[in-house]
Structure 1
Amino acid sequence: MRKDVYQYLQKNKELITFLHEQPIWYRKLGRDPSQIQNLEIAALHYYQKTIPHQIQKFSNGVQMATMMASMFKIMNEQS
């Protein structure tokens, strides 16, 4: 792996962890260092940090809160 690519990866520990979990990227970066952008995108998808993933997490949280509120409302009506 080229020294400049390695130094870039050292700045982001999450990418290093992703490389350890997905070793195919060592070979891809070794052959074509310009793949660093694709590595970052793949890591975002792997760790579910893309905007659609964040929206889905937020939506799930809102659904959970709504369900809990309705449960508390039903419990208070029964008492």
Structure 2
Amino acid sequence: MRQDLYKLIEGNEDMQKFLRVQPFWYRKLSRRPHLISKMETEAKFYFEKSIPHRVSKFSEGVQMASMMVHMFQAMNAQQ
């Protein structure tokens, strides 16, 4: 593997973990180093750090907070 790719991967903990989980990327990057951006994208999806994943996590948090507020309001209304 090229040294510049190795240093890039070494500097990113998620990419290191992804490379250990998906070792075929070693071979792929050795033969086609321009695929590093594709590997980064796949690593983001694997660790659920892509924009759609972040939006869904945020909306789940908002829904949970809304449910808690409604529950507290219902408890206060009973008293």
> Structures share a fold, TM > 0.5?
yes
Aligned-residue offset at 1:78:
1.3
| Equivalence for 1:39 | 39
User: What are the ranges of 5 or more consecutive residues in structure 2 without an aligned counterpart?
Assistant: none
Aligned-residue offset at 1:4:
2.0
Does 2:75 match 1:75?
yes
| Equivalence for 1:11 | 11
**Separation in 2, partners of 1:29, 1:78:** 63
* 4+ runs deviating over 2 angstroms: none
Aligned-residue offset at 1:21:
1.4
Q: Report the TM-score when normalising by structure 1.
A: 0.90
**Separation in 2, partners of 1:8, 1:65:** 39
Q: Report the TM-score when normalising by structure 2.
A: 0.90
| Equivalence for 2:58 | 58
Aligned-residue offset at 1:69:
0.6
Judge which range, 8-17 or 38-47, deviates more.
8-17
**Separation in 2, partners of 1:70, 1:37:** 44
User: Identity across aligned pairs (percent)?
Assistant: 49
Cα RMSD after superposing both structures: 1.1
Judge which range, 3-12 or 66-75, deviates more.
3-12
